[in-house]
Amino acid sequence: MRIALYQPDIPQNAGSLLRLGACLGLAVDIIEPCGFLLDDRKLKRAGMDYIDLAEMTRHSSWSAFQAARQGRLVLLSTKAEASHLDFAFRPDDILLLGRESCGVPDDVHDAADARVRIPMKAGTRSLNLAMAAALVVGEALRQTQGFP
């Protein structure tokens, strides 16, 4: 299982997800361009010393990521109809998260093999990106017995 970030905007979220990946044994794909430099101080602060333990792959573009990816692409989206709690995850899934500012464009949305959302209280829009990833990753690893 992998985590993929599509053109992330906020270095603190990317750092937190690198830390999550390092702690849970998940590789993290960064699909560029990013809204920050990957050596950003805020990225390092959020990821702490775990960034050195993270398995990170940088992809220069969406097409480069698509050419390299293996496994089913599962998009976390507020527009999805299926709850992540009702979805059957697989060990080779790539959990894709969009940009904090605007999600993913239609072509990326359409390229996903599946789309899931986190059920939330009415009147709320979305969770912080890193928190949303942690919720879905936890359920996916529970289902696939993938916790270290």
Q: Residues 55-92: pLDDT tens digits?
A: 999 999 999 999 999 999 999 999 999 999 999 999 99
Residue ranges covered by each domain of the chain:
2-144
Domain 2-144, CATH class in plain words: alpha beta
Q: Are 76 and 93 in contact (CB under 8 A)?
A: no
Mean pLDDT by 10 residues, the chain (148 residues): 96 91 96 82 71 91 97 96 97 97 95 97 92 97 97
